[in-house]
Structure 1
Amino acid sequence: MREFFKYVFATVVGIIISTFLIFLVFILLVVGVLSSIDEDKSVNVLSNSVLYLNLDQSIKERTPNKTLENLPIVGSGGGKSIGFNELIKAIKRAKTDDNIKCVYLNVSSPGAGKATLKEIRDALIDFKKSKKQIIAYSEVYTQDAYYLASVADKIYLNPQGALEFKGFSSQLTFFKGALEKLGVEAQIIRVGNYKSAVEPFINDKMSDYNRKQVTAYLGGLYDTFLEGISASRKIPKDSLFVYANTYRIQQPNDALQYKMVDGLKYKDEVLDELKSLSGTEKNETLSTVTINDYAANQKTENSDSKNKIAVIYANGEITGGEGNDESIGSERISRAIRKARMDEKIKAIVLRVNSGGGSALASDVIWREIVLSKKVKPVIASFGDVAASGGYYIACAADSIFVQPNTITGSIGVFGIIPNFQNLFNNKLGITFDGVKTGQYADIMSVNRPLTAGERLIIQTDVNHVYDSFITRVAEGRKKSKAYIDSIGGGHVWIGTDAVKIGLADKLGSFNDAVAAAGKKAKLKEYRVVEYPEQISTLKSLLDDGADNVKLYYAKQEFGENFMLYQQMKKAIVNAGIQARIPFDITVQ
């Protein structure tokens, strides 16, 4: 009886604690919703204000929903972020806003890719036509940060700070040795010598093909970087190359000597200058508005127009199913394209792609919806930082493709990886397998033994078929021969400028250029932009993906800078089906 009461008591205590925790979570959710309602209130921009452009935040394709982001729940969001398009529209509006007197650009390490940085940089260059000044200040400038800051009328560096200017590098990680020690064999089926996604698992260094293409696109990225800085700072491009190549900029005084900055100042000195520019007395408080708040104040332009242009955001890895705001689910994106196609008020579609690819099958599903849409209304593609492999596949049927000079694209090729764990299971762990089957290929794709010659032939035939479909889709969309597409395909990665030269893209231009081209092709004088797919609420994301977000959160904390290695290994093991993805996660430092 004593044991009985002990268990009853434990159960009651458990129920009470559980109820309390549920109640606590409910209170947090209510507080989060109420705080988000308060956050949505418009910010009053006072006269003589300074637009505070803090770009040390995550710059995404779309501004995320803010609900619950400040809750102390792992997986509920957190950290500032803003959509690049909202940011650019805010800068454009500030250009003609009489209350905004100047811009204070504060950036050390922006959270954006190269093409996105160029979009923002071009918007700042356009802002300067207003004759309003941009003042940049930072304690530390990374190369990406300096690329943005170089447009400023004045660039200031902390007297004890640092300016990084060393050139670009791209380093790959190879797992062959580790896999051999573990007793794991990566069985590779691919088409294309340049399709080097598989190389980290079978080589211990870059192949000649891969080295050639990485050298080419890294050089293209660097050219865009140097040309932009050269034009803004009036420093010859060759001189900038020498500064980086010889590591001239080591101390703050070096940056001043070589005219990379205009002065070495502390923040209080910069604030005094901002007060002067904005017409604020020294003894008064500087009136500022953050770019996040200023962007949140924006209203939809031409909101009364019945004509619409649909922008469909395809962002992240391509997978089957629904996906989310950070991945391209074939069902969700196809449904969004179909909805835009069937809406008579939508006169044109802009497909905004920022993806290194993924599932070849899912890519084809999305491609089909673009083909159907193109038959009834204009479809324009706008490529962001990366639109490669499957990311290129889904857009190749568009009427026109816009890229930035430093967009990474192409990578027309497919591959499959079938791991063989036999040695690991048998010799390392002492695990063996046995069974029966009703057909010779009933256990094809089994990971506890090597592929047979017959199985390898079947899979290679399937990969070849997918590749043939891929180059056929591209040839039809780009109005080229299959032979020509094959010659520039084979998994070859191209930079935006080269993509235009070889016909994989049509024009160098921004996202807004693509939208304007869609309006022109649809013969619209006025229109308003609507965005698809509908963003997933933070609460739904928390409920649907909370567990996964928690795992990712702690994995990032544990692995730190090596988190990308964990992701690469995981992708190699779990990705099912034939893949059309960029050869690797490109990291340029």
Structure 2
Amino acid sequence: MSKFLKYFLAVIAGSMVSAFFFLMGIVIFVSILASSSSQEVKVADNSILVLDLKGPIVERTSDDPFEQIISELSGQVAPVGLNKILASIKKAKKDDRIKGIYMESGMVMAGYATIEEIRNALIDFRESGKFVHSYAPVYTQSAYYLASAADKIYLNPTGMLDFQGISASYTFYKGTLEKLGIEMQIFKHGEFKSAVEPFILEKLSDAARHQSEVYLNSIWDHVLAKVADSRSLNMEALNQTASQAPVLMEDSLMLASGLIDGFKYKDEVLNELKSLTNTEEKDDLNALNISKYSSVYLPDEKKGLEKNKIAVIYAEGAIDGGSSDGIQSEDLSRTIREARRDSSIKAVVLRINSPGGSGLGSEIIWREVQLTKKIKPVIVSMGDLAASGGYYIACAADSIVAHPTTLTGSIGVFGMIPNTEGLLKKIGVTTDRVKTNQFADFPVLDRPFTADEKQLMQGYIERFYGIFLKRCADGRQTTVEAIDEVGEGRVWSGENALAIDLIDKLGGIDEAIAIAAGMAELENYRLVELPEILTPIEQIMKSMSENASARIGQLFLGEQYQILKTINDLKTAHPVQARMPFDVQLN
């Protein structure tokens, strides 16, 4: 017995010591992070700002230490926040120590509207007379669109450039579900509400194909026009060049096309940058990346002294989609409510980048937007996506701003309930039940719906679609009939949406902030980003429980991770969805 107690106490003592050192390690780790972040970043004269945009761009990022660690371990590039990129470019324009921007963004991972934000910021930066040079061994098409804002575009002599028109790929799960013995029972309203098609078809329906062709051509025409303008090219000739697949062109034809300014190795590009910044060839360039430069304050900048504030509230991801990285309706509603009650916040800019999601969650958020609008201006700024539920939470705003390449609309509703009876039979499982009333077990997943149950479900979908139409009609100050004509689940580009009055203006987040300031009659104000960023220790704990599993899944599953994630999210999804069709990926 004494020996048992000795070993038992030893285990307890060892555990306590281990826990102590673990906690001490976290404290030391956080202390190091805090001290390093508090160190002032020095900007030398004749410096350049480096935009290394080879990874995913999200709406905003915190200085998440665990994100950086996971990225280094997995060999992947950590996400960078659009908010930091735009703020750094704007700051660099006024900073006399920054002579130009060097951009390596050949494999940028972002939608066209996000790229448009950065591209416009670079064009504005060049108005200061400073240079923007872009270099990459390989340019994807969206990356080249960003690079086209530069005054010089260089490509590695053996590199590749993709500029051959926009395509969108769609994944269908019907065959997989049939093999598993799962039938998806579909209820929807909207001819174009094709979000259910991956689960019941093997290819696009005619309606889905038509709407895709319309918004893809709208986006492509916009990209052609902007590239042609930046590169001083003829738009029709540029389109002909795209049809010849520049990725396979001979060097002489590539140069003749006007897409690039030359073939150079990186050392040659760096030497050119040294010449532009009066740096000796033997010396290193004075260069700062976004991570460092974002913490730099200019001498004439005010550090949050203005009393009046405009809140920028971020709504990114699927609404109540079951994933930790999306929009949780209760959390976002609380944030909007707190901004409404804060007397120092004079206006709200709701930044939406969402394909939609839960119909109920969308309604919950809509209510807070509507209540806030009665007290202070609410302006919506749309990112890459603000469709279906994303549009639902936007429609009550005073004004809606979107990029020409934003995907929006998709005003429609669907419900999707799996019938797993076939799967259960395959594995030898049977079920039975006893109930007191006809619909006591509704909805049930281990048998097909009865005719009465189908009628009930479809009736609910129709009623919710009517509510959706009413919300949009009231918000846009038009009739339900007018919204229904452009609804039916149809997706529109931002340019299309402006023509049919679903949005008010084309532009980015700066335009939305300017509108908010004007409506609130503010000349001097400061911006606050909400929800508030977590502390470093909170970020670590949150990342350990949420982000790490996602990043590891991406590491081992690659492109298949998103497909499996979509199927897995169905387990916790609300039965009535206001969601954009498919997870559209544009090249």
TM-score, with structure 2 as normaliser: 0.94
- What is the RMSD of the two structures over their aligned residues, measured on CA atoms? 2.5
* Pair 11,490 (structure 1): closer, same or farther in 2 beyond 3 Å: farther
* Pair 36,138 (structure 1): closer, same or farther in 2 beyond 3 Å: same
1:18 deviation in Å? 5.0
Q: How does 1:505-516 map to 2 (within 5 A)?
A: 505-516=503-514
Q: Which residue number in structure 2 is paired with residue 293 of structure 1?
A: 292
1:104 deviation in Å? 0.9
Structure 1 counterpart of 2:99, one-letter code:
K
Q: How does 1:171-186 map to 2 (within 5 A)?
A: 171-186=169-184
1:172 deviation in Å? 0.9
Q: Which residue number in structure 2 is paired with residue 481 of structure 1?
A: 479
Gaps of 5+ in 1: none
Larger mean Cα displacement after TM superposition, 23-32 or 81-90: 23-32
Q: Which residue number in structure 2 is paired with residue 231 of structure 1?
A: 229
Give the secondary structure class of the aligned counterpart of 1:111. Answer: coil
1:139 deviation in Å? 1.1
8 Å contact from structure 1 (residues 32, 68) kept in 2: no
Q: Which residue number in structure 1 is paired with residue 457 of structure 2?
A: 459
1:14 deviation in Å? 6.2
1:5-40 Cα deviation digits (max 9, x unpaired): 7x8898678657755654554344234312321134
How many angstroms apart in 1 are the aligned matches of 2:265 and 2:73?
37
* Pair 280,446 (structure 1): closer, same or farther in 2 beyond 3 Å: same
Structure 2 counterpart of 1:359, one-letter code:
S
Give the secondary structure class of the aligned counterpart of 2:465. Answer: helix
8 Å contact from structure 1 (residues 162, 251) kept in 2: no
How many angstroms apart in 2 are the aligned matches of 1:545 and 1:10?
36
How many angstroms apart in 2 are the aligned matches of 1:335 and 1:416?
27
Equivalent pairs, count: 583
Q: Which residue number in structure 2 is paired with residue 406 of structure 1?
A: 405
How many angstroms apart in 1 are the aligned matches of 2:152 and 2:142?
17
Structure 1 counterpart of 2:458, one-letter code:
Q
How many angstroms apart in 2 are the aligned matches of 1:198 and 1:334?
28
Give the secondary structure class of the aligned counterpart of 2:127. Answer: helix
* Pair 414,435 (structure 1): closer, same or farther in 2 beyond 3 Å: same
* Pair 298,449 (structure 1): closer, same or farther in 2 beyond 3 Å: farther
User: Is 1:35 aligned to 2:32, yes or no?
Assistant: yes
Larger mean Cα displacement after TM superposition, 80-89 or 165-174: 80-89
Alignment counterpart, residue 429 of structure 1, candidates 406, 419, 427: 427
Alignment counterpart, residue 158 of structure 1, candidates 156, 159, 163: 156
Structure 2 counterpart of 1:310, one-letter code:
A
Q: Which residue number in structure 2 is paired with residue 209 of structure 1?
A: 207
1:62-111 Cα deviation digits (max 9, x unpaired): 12233444446999998433321221121112112111112111112112
Larger mean Cα displacement after TM superposition, 79-88 or 156-165: 79-88
Structure 1 counterpart of 2:111, one-letter code:
G
1:250 deviation in Å? 1.5
How many angstroms apart in 1 are the aligned matches of 2:209 and 2:119?
30
How many angstroms apart in 1 are the aligned matches of 2:166 and 2:309?
41
Q: Which residue number in structure 2 is paired with residue 556 of structure 1?
A: 554
Q: Which residue number in structure 1 is paired with residue 319 of structure 2?
A: 318
Give the secondary structure class of the aligned counterpart of 1:283. Answer: coil
* Pair 106,72 (structure 1): closer, same or farther in 2 beyond 3 Å: closer
Structure 2 counterpart of 1:404, one-letter code:
H
8 Å contact from structure 1 (residues 320, 330) kept in 2: no
8 Å contact from structure 2 (residues 320, 573) kept in 1: no
Q: Which residue number in structure 2 is paired with residue 308 of structure 1?
A: 309
Larger mean Cα displacement after TM superposition, 487-496 or 291-300: 291-300
How many angstroms apart in 1 are the aligned matches of 2:545 and 2:312?
31
Give the secondary structure class of the aligned counterpart of 1:328. Answer: coil
1:407-440 Cα deviation digits (max 9, x unpaired): 00001111111100101102x1110001211111
* Pair 77,157 (structure 1): closer, same or farther in 2 beyond 3 Å: closer
Structure 1 counterpart of 2:288, one-letter code:
V
Structure 1 counterpart of 2:390, one-letter code:
G
8 Å contact from structure 2 (residues 162, 245) kept in 1: no
* Pair 97,364 (structure 1): closer, same or farther in 2 beyond 3 Å: same
How many angstroms apart in 1 are the aligned matches of 2:278 and 2:451?
78
User: Is 1:276 aligned to 2:310, yes or no?
Assistant: no
Q: How does 1:353-368 map to 2 (within 5 A)?
A: 353-368=352-367
Q: Which residue number in structure 1 is paired with residue 331 of structure 2?
A: 332
Give the secondary structure class of the aligned counterpart of 1:284. Answer: coil
8 Å contact from structure 1 (residues 308, 529) kept in 2: yes
8 Å contact from structure 1 (residues 186, 202) kept in 2: yes
1:563 deviation in Å? 1.3
8 Å contact from structure 2 (residues 359, 574) kept in 1: no
Q: How does 1:56-135 map to 2 (within 5 A)?
A: 56-71=54-69, 79-135=77-133
8 Å contact from structure 1 (residues 389, 409) kept in 2: yes
Gaps of 5+ in 2: none
* Pair 180,401 (structure 1): closer, same or farther in 2 beyond 3 Å: same
8 Å contact from structure 1 (residues 67, 539) kept in 2: no
8 Å contact from structure 2 (residues 67, 78) kept in 1: no
How many angstroms apart in 2 are the aligned matches of 1:305 and 1:404?
30
TM-score, with structure 1 as normaliser: 0.93
Q: Which residue number in structure 2 is paired with residue 440 of structure 1?
A: 438
* Pair 309,576 (structure 1): closer, same or farther in 2 beyond 3 Å: same
1:574 deviation in Å? 3.2
Q: Which residue number in structure 2 is paired with residue 540 of structure 1?
A: 538
* Pair 8,430 (structure 1): closer, same or farther in 2 beyond 3 Å: farther
8 Å contact from structure 1 (residues 103, 133) kept in 2: yes
How many angstroms apart in 1 are the aligned matches of 2:543 and 2:431?
35
8 Å contact from structure 1 (residues 387, 407) kept in 2: yes
Q: Which residue number in structure 2 is paired with residue 240 of structure 1?
A: 238
Structure 2 counterpart of 1:363, one-letter code:
S
Structure 2 counterpart of 1:362, one-letter code:
G
* Pair 179,13 (structure 1): closer, same or farther in 2 beyond 3 Å: farther
Q: Which residue number in structure 2 is paired with residue 195 of structure 1?
A: 193
* Pair 145,588 (structure 1): closer, same or farther in 2 beyond 3 Å: same
1:532-551 Cα deviation digits (max 9, x unpaired): 11123453354356344443
8 Å contact from structure 1 (residues 139, 158) kept in 2: yes
How many angstroms apart in 2 are the aligned matches of 1:509 and 1:389?
20
1:168 deviation in Å? 1.4
* Pair 456,72 (structure 1): closer, same or farther in 2 beyond 3 Å: closer
8 Å contact from structure 1 (residues 32, 71) kept in 2: no
8 Å contact from structure 1 (residues 76, 542) kept in 2: no
How many angstroms apart in 2 are the aligned matches of 1:462 and 1:190?
10
* Pair 238,424 (structure 1): closer, same or farther in 2 beyond 3 Å: same
* Pair 8,467 (structure 1): closer, same or farther in 2 beyond 3 Å: farther
Larger mean Cα displacement after TM superposition, 56-65 or 511-520: 56-65
How many angstroms apart in 1 are the aligned matches of 2:548 and 2:7?
28
8 Å contact from structure 1 (residues 355, 391) kept in 2: yes
How many angstroms apart in 2 are the aligned matches of 1:13 and 1:173?
56
1:137-159 Cα deviation digits (max 9, x unpaired): 11111111111111211111111
* Pair 454,536 (structure 1): closer, same or farther in 2 beyond 3 Å: farther
1:516 deviation in Å? 0.4
Structure 1 counterpart of 2:386, one-letter code:
A
Give the secondary structure class of the aligned counterpart of 1:358. Answer: strand
1:249 deviation in Å? 3.7
Q: Which residue number in structure 1 is paired with residue 381 of structure 2?
A: 382
8 Å contact from structure 1 (residues 188, 417) kept in 2: yes
* Pair 468,43 (structure 1): closer, same or farther in 2 beyond 3 Å: same
8 Å contact from structure 1 (residues 166, 244) kept in 2: yes
* Pair 67,547 (structure 1): closer, same or farther in 2 beyond 3 Å: closer
